[in-house]
Amino acid sequence: MSPILLAIVIVTVIGLIGAVILVAASIFMYVPVDERVEKITAVLAGANCGACGCAGCADYAKSIVEDGNAVNKCTPGGAKTAAAIAEIMGVEAGASVSMKAVVACSGTCGKTSKRYEFEGLQSCQAVKGLYGGDGMCKFGCLGYGDCTRACAFDAIHILDGIAKVDREKCVGCGACAAACPNSVISLVPEHKRKPVVLCQNKDKGADTRKACTAGCIGCMKCAKACPKEAITVENNLAYIDQDKCVGCQLCVKECPVGIIHVPANE
Amino acid sequence: MELAVKLASIFFTMILVDNYVLAKFLGICPFLGVSKKLDSAVGMSLAVTFVMVMATAATWPIYKLILVPAGAENTARDLSYLQTIVFILIIAILVQLLENFLKKFIPALYKALGVYLPLITTNCTILGVTILNLDNGYDFIESIVCAAGAGIGFLVAMVLFSGVRRKVEQAIVPSCFKGLPITLVAAAMTSLSFMGFGGIVDAIFKV
């Protein structure tokens, strides 16, 4: 047989054998894919933001069908998407809790100051690497906008030295929280009456006062005022348990530095 | 004993001296693309190692039995020029088959390897290791060990570089160097550091 013909025959035969093996394998090792997965993927927001805790929308759809994941975790899609998924899955949607990003820092330009002038790369990550940041307070918002750049929805901006969330635009995906090197940003369930402590400073009261006039000094006044014992002060920082909180807002009035606020009303 | 020494020598040479990424400059695409995060770098490397060994095990016999049977060297029957196309074909079939197999029988591993498995179908390191094994005249066992070493070498390079990259990302670089340029400079330096291993394996195993 001529070498050219042999070459053609060999490649063709290998290709054919491979094709037969693959077809056989795909029949023999067929894994049934639930058609609901595709349907759910179609109704999801498609932002692949990861707010649900899965790697992407398709991954979330799969985890709903296969692992019984909750149907109301798609924050960008909100209640509408949750209802649509619930219909596909044939279950009750349950209340879709809308999460919004909250910047736990009140240290605007007038309230705190800088320890040094930073002229390097304009990023929170970079300034954090230089003696823990340029602010007097090492816990607060650095104000170089890593969160702004991380946000896919144009919902967070630096205003008066600290990050401010546009609550209309925020979908609660948590991209900003992941980008913040100081972990100032967190996702808090949206509630019209429940307040949040807008400070992260864990220094002793006197040190906090030197660094920022709007910092939690751990005075315990809020904890004593709370009728439901929802507030604990740990490491000189007050924390409000959102599950226990009933939204009476006594702590808001009591706080001497005025850093307990209801984010929804800002 | 002699065989063990020889295999160990091949294995460590592939990791340190002839590292596929840092010395032979194959597989630069995943090296730069997937080294951003440590866990994805490890996942990708393990998938590459796995496929490398499987591909070598499949291509070596096909080359020796079908393309160039014993005694056919340099005759009209010598079809070694077909190796590239045939090997690509075989690797593609193999990866597809492997994916089906894992999906059905080892779903946990399938999940762990995830997107990287189909991604490496046409990766040049896989093709490279199968072809270079034949060029070096290795026998079957040596080829398998060489492929495993190459995979582990890939893993070492990926893990090291993902660490380097994390440092680079936090560093303040001139704006003209930001992004890929500084990553390539860092890759070049990592590669240079591996040049320091030249001859070390030969000296240890006295080959």
CATH number of the domain bearing residue A72: 1.10.15.40
Domain's final residue, options A71, A89, A107: A89
In chain A, how many domains are there?
A: 2
Name the nearest CA neighbour of A25 among B120, B56, B102, B62. Answer: B102
DSSP secondary structure code for residue A265 in this structure: G
pLDDT per residue as tens digits for the range A142-169: 999 899 988 888 889 998 889 999 888 8
Pair A114, A68 in one domain: no
Q: Find the mean pLDDT for residues B135-156.
A: 92
Task: Calculate the average pLDDT of chain B.
Answer: 86
Residue B57, classified by CB atoms within 10 Å of its CB into exposed (0-12), middle (13-18) or buried (19+), is middle
Pairing of strands A231-234, A237-240: antiparallel
* Within-domain flag for A206: yes
Within 10 Å of residue B34's Cβ, how many Cβ atoms? 21
Q: In this model, does residue A68 exceed pLDDT 80?
A: no
Residue A87 banded pLDDT, cuts 50, 70, 90: confident
Domain's final residue, options A89, A119, A153: A89
In chain B, how many domains are there?
A: 1
What range does the domain containing B181 cover? 2-194
H helical segments located in A3-105? 3-28, 35-43, 57-67, 78-89
Residue A78 banded pLDDT, cuts 50, 70, 90: confident
Residue A66 banded pLDDT, cuts 50, 70, 90: confident
Q: Find the mean pLDDT for residues B137-154.
A: 93
pLDDT per residue as tens digits for the range B55-64: 999 999 999 8
Side chain identity at residue A148, one-letter code: T
* Within-domain flag for A19: no
Beta carbons of B104 and A31 less than 8 Å apart: yes
B38-62 vs B140-170: helix axis angle to the nearest 10?
160
List Cβ<8 Å contacts ≥24 apart for A256-260: A256/A217, A256/A219, A256/A221, A257/A106, A257/A199, A257/A213, A257/A214, A257/A215, A257/A216, A257/A217, A258/A106, A258/A214, A259/A106, A259/A197, A259/A198, A259/A199, A259/A214, A259/A215, A259/A216, A260/A195, A260/A196, A260/A197, A260/A198, A260/A222
Locate B57 and state its tokens: 């095990």
- Euclidean distance between CA atoms A123 and A44, whole angstroms: 33
What range does the domain containing A76 cover? 35-89
Question: Under 8 Å CB-to-CB from A14, ≥6 apart: which residues?
Answer: B62, B66, B86, B89, B90
Pair A123, A71 in one domain: no
Pair A103, A81 in one domain: no
Within 10 Å of residue B105's Cβ, how many Cβ atoms? 11
* Within-domain flag for B200: no
- CB-nearest partner of B96 from A10, A22, A30: A22
Q: What is the pLDDT of residue B130?
A: 92
Interface subset of A 108-127, CB within 8 angstroms of B: 120-121, 125-126
Hey, which residues does A163 pair with through a beta bridge?
A: A158
Pair A164, A82 in one domain: no
* Within-domain flag for A57: yes
Residue A19 banded pLDDT, cuts 50, 70, 90: very high
* Gyration radius from chain A CA atoms: 26
A31 — contact with chain B (CB < 8 Å)?
Answer: yes
**Contacts A–B by Cβ distance under 8 A:** 53
Pair A220, A144 in one domain: yes
pTM above 0.80, yes or no: no
Residue A4 banded pLDDT, cuts 50, 70, 90: confident
Q: What is the pLDDT of residue B159?
A: 92
CB A70 within 8 A of CB A94: yes
* Within-domain flag for B113: yes
> Which region among A18-32, A200-214, A216-230, B30-44 has the lowest average model confidence (pLDDT)?
B30-44
* Within-domain flag for A131: yes
Name the nearest CA neighbour of A65 among A45, A46, A91, A47. Answer: A91
Q: In this model, does residue B7 exceed pLDDT 80?
A: yes
* Within-domain flag for B134: yes
Beta carbons of A14 and B97 less than 8 Å apart: no
pLDDT per residue as tens digits for the range B65-107: 888 887 777 777 788 888 889 999 999 888 888 888 888 887 7
Beta carbons of A29 and B86 less than 8 Å apart: no
- Euclidean distance between CA atoms A7 and A13, whole angstroms: 10
Q: From residue A200, give the alpha-carbon distance in Å to each of A128, A235, A250.
A: 15, 10, 21
Within 10 Å of residue A33's Cβ, how many Cβ atoms? 10
* Within-domain flag for A214: yes
pLDDT per residue as tens digits for the range A95-144: 556 788 899 998 888 888 888 888 888 889 888 888 888 888 888 899 99
Beta carbons of B97 and A22 less than 8 Å apart: yes
Give the ipTM.
0.73
* Within-domain flag for B207: no
